[in-house]
Amino acid sequence: MTSFVATNTDPCVHCGFCLPTCASYRVLGTEMDSPRGRIHALKAIEAGELVLDATVASHFDSCLGCLACVTACPSGVRYDLLIEATRPKLNAPELRSSGQQALRKLLFALLPYPGRLRALLTPLRLYAGTPLQNLVRRSGLLRLMGPQLEAIEGLLPPLAPEAFADRFPLVVPAQGPRRYRVGLVLGCVQRLFDPAVNRAAVAVLSANGIEVVIPPAQGCCGAMTHHQGELEQTQTLAQQLVASFAAVVGPGKAAGAEPLDAVLVGASGCGHTLKHYPEILGGEGALESNGPGHRPGPGSEQPFQAPVADIQEFLAQVGLSEAFRAALQPLRHGDGEPASAIRPLRLVYHDACHMLHGQGIHDQPRDLLGQIPHMQLLEAVEAGICCGSAGIYNLVEPEVASELGRIKADDLAATGAELAVSANIGCSLQIRKHLGETGRDLPVLHPVQVLEQSFNGP
C-alpha cells in the first residue's frame, strides 16, 4: 500500500512553479525553506535518508502554512495535507529550543482563552495606545529584551473598553422581514484586539434582514492550535465551541428551536479551521462544512449542525438586501458637491492566505465592496503573498515575519490606496504595524466595517 507521504509527494515534478509564491522562500532564499525542498525532505525522511532533527525541523517551522504553493502547483500537490501531518511531529520536545517551547506554551495557554487574555491585558490598558507606548517603542528597550517580546508588543493595539466584555444579546433580530438566521463566531483575538469588527458584522447582518444568534459562552475555535499541530487542544476547543451553540439553539433552548442557516465567521484563519471540524472532531459534534468532502457521514450523532461560511462568502451568496444596497453611501464626503463630482475612494483589498488559498474566496469580498458607490478597487501586485502574520508565526519567527510585513506594507501602499481592507485579524494587526513603522497613513478595516460605514455613514 502506498504511504500517505508517497501519495502526496509523488505528484511533485520539481518544476519550481510554487517557489515564487512561497513566503518563506521569498525571504530566506534557500531550497530547504521552499515547498519543493520540504517535499523532498519528507520523501528523504520516509526513505530513511534524512533524520528529522532540530535543523531539519527548523526548515518546516519556517513554513508559514500560507498554502500559496497549493494554489500555484500545476500538478495538484497537496502540500497543505503534508504540512498538516508534519506539524504534530515538530512539537517533539527535542526539536525546538527550551525558549521556543516555553514561548509556544505561553501563547497556547493565553491566546485561545479570552478570559485569561482579558485578565492579562487589563493593566495594559494604561499603556497600549498611549504616548508611553510610543516612547517605549522608540527607545529600543524592547529589542534588548528579545525579538519575540518586541514582536508581541509591536502588535498590541489600543484597547477599547468593549474589548473587555462581550456586550451582544443572545439574539439580534433582523431589521425588516427576516431572510435568514445565522450564528456568529466572535473569535478570541478579534473580539479583544478589534471588537469594532464584530459590532459591524452584527449591524450589517441585521440590516440585511439576517437574525444573528451569538452564544455567550463561546470561546476560541481552535484555529491557532490547529495550524500548529496541537491536536488535542484543538479538539477540546472545537468541542467547546460546538457545545456553546448547542447550549442555546434547539428545542426549549434560549435562542429557539429553529435551525441556523449558517454559522458565520469573520476571520479567515478561523473560517478555515471551522470548515475542517468534521475531520478534527471525527464527525462527532461537528459544525457541518459547506465545502465538498467535509460533510460528516450519515447517521453520525450530531448535537448541533449548521453549514459554516465566511461572512463575506455568505453575504455574497445570499446577496445584500435591496434596502441595504439602496442605503449605501459614498465613504468620501462630497462637501455639498453633486454625487457625480465626488472623487472615488481608492481601496485595496488584502487577500488573507486562509481566505484565498485555504477557502478559495477571492471574488466575493470584491463583489460586496464594489456595491458601495464611488469606490475604486485597486489590486496589489503581490496580492497572493503572505503578510507574515500566519497565526503565531510573527511571534515565534519574528525576523522572517517582519520582512514579509514590510514587503506587504510597501505593496499595499504602492497601489496609491487610501484605505486597505483585510478580513483576518492577524493580517490586520500585522499590516497596521508595518504600515505604521514605515510611516504610511493607511487605515486598515474589515470589509464589514466598510459596508457598515457606507450604510450608516462614516
Question: Which residue among 77, 163, 409, 445 contacts ligand SF4 (CB under 6 A)?
Answer: 77
Tell me how far apart the alpha carbons of residues 198 and 184 are, in angstroms, rounded to a whole number: 9
Tell me how far apart the alpha carbons of residues 315 and 320 are, in angstroms, rounded to a whole number: 6
- Candidates 62-70, 177-185, 289-297, 441-449: pick the segment binding ligand SF4 (CB under 6 A): 62-70
Tell me how far apart the alpha carbons of residues 182 and 267 are, in angstroms, rounded to a whole number: 16
Question: Which residue among 6, 7, 15, 379 contacts ligand SF4 (CB under 6 A)?
Answer: 15
| Shorter beta-carbon distance to ligand SF4: residue 11 or 457 | 11
Tell me how far apart the alpha carbons of residues 409 and 443 are, in angstroms, rounded to a whole number: 11
Among positions 380-419, residues that touch ligand SF4 (CB under 6 A) are none
User: By C-alpha distance, which of 262, 258, 244 is closest to 182?
Assistant: 262
Three-point CA angle 312, 286, 201, nearest 5°? 25
Question: Which residue among 27, 32, 73, 345 contacts ligand SF4 (CB under 6 A)?
Answer: 73
| Shorter beta-carbon distance to ligand SF4: residue 360 or 370 | 360
All three cell numbers of 223, joined, read 484555529
Q: How far is the CB of 56 from ligand SF4 (least distance, A)?
A: 15
Tell me how crowded residue 335 is: count the other CB atoms within 10 A of its CB: 7
CA distances from 296 to 227, 263, 285, 288, 310 (A): 21, 16, 10, 7, 19
64 touches ligand SF4 by CB under 6 A: yes
Q: How far is the CB of 385 from ligand SF4 (least distance, A)?
A: 9
Q: How far is the CB of 357 from ligand SF4 (least distance, A)?
A: 8
255 touches ligand SF4 by CB under 6 A: no
Q: How far is the CB of 49 from ligand SF4 (least distance, A)?
A: 19
Q: How far is the CB of 362 from ligand SF4 (least distance, A)?
A: 17
Question: Which residue among 3, 7, 55, 75 contacts ligand SF4 (CB under 6 A)?
Answer: 75
| Shorter beta-carbon distance to ligand SF4: residue 258 or 399 | 399
Query: Cβ contacts of residue 191 below 8 Å, gap of 6+?
Result: 114, 163, 166, 198
Query: Cβ contacts of residue 336 below 8 Å, gap of 6+?
Result: none
Backbone angles phi, psi at 287, to 5 degrees: -75, 130
Give the number of residues in contact with ligand SF4, rule: CB under 6 A.
27
β 171-172/210-213 pair status: antiparallel
358 touches ligand SF4 by CB under 6 A: no
Q: How far is the CB of 61 from ligand SF4 (least distance, A)?
A: 10
Question: Which residue among 65, 271, 285, 405 contacts ligand SF4 (CB under 6 A)?
Answer: 65
69 touches ligand SF4 by CB under 6 A: yes
Q: What is the CA radius of gyration of the chain?
A: 22
**3-class DSSP state for residue 349?**
strand
Question: Which residue among 5, 41, 52, 68 contacts ligand SF4 (CB under 6 A)?
Answer: 68
- Candidates 12-20, 120-128, 324-332, 403-411: pick the segment binding ligand SF4 (CB under 6 A): 12-20
Q: How far is the CB of 132 from ligand SF4 (least distance, A)?
A: 36
CA distances from 391 to 109, 175, 222, 322, 434 (A): 15, 35, 11, 37, 16
**3-class DSSP state for residue 309?**
strand
What burial class does residue 338 get, using C-beta atoms within 10 Å of its C-beta: 0-12 exposed, 13-18 middle, 19+ buried? Answer: exposed
Query: Which single residue is written with the C-alpha cell 481566505?
Result: 355
- Candidates 70-78, 172-180, 268-276, 426-434: pick the segment binding ligand SF4 (CB under 6 A): 70-78
Helices 398-414/425-437 angle, 10° precision: 80
Q: How far is the CB of 452 from ligand SF4 (least distance, A)?
A: 32
Question: Which residue among 5, 8, 12, 230 contacts ligand SF4 (CB under 6 A)?
Answer: 12
Question: Which residue among 5, 42, 52, 66 contacts ligand SF4 (CB under 6 A)?
Answer: 66
| Shorter beta-carbon distance to ligand SF4: residue 68 or 212 | 68
* Contact code string over 17-36 relative to ligand SF4, x by CB under 6 A: xx--xxxx----------xx
- Candidates 9-17, 84-92, 143-151, 279-287: pick the segment binding ligand SF4 (CB under 6 A): 9-17
**Distant-in-sequence contacts of 172-175, Cβ < 8 A, 24+ apart:** 172/202, 172/205, 172/206, 172/211, 172/212, 172/214, 173/206, 173/211, 174/205, 174/206, 174/208, 174/209, 174/210, 174/211, 175/206, 175/207, 175/209
79 touches ligand SF4 by CB under 6 A: yes
| Shorter beta-carbon distance to ligand SF4: residue 43 or 253 | 43
4 sits in which H/E element:
helix 4-9
Q: How far is the CB of 33 from ligand SF4 (least distance, A)?
A: 8
- Give residues in contact with ligand SF4 (CB under 6 A): 12-18, 21-24, 35-36, 38-39, 63-69, 72-73, 75, 77, 79
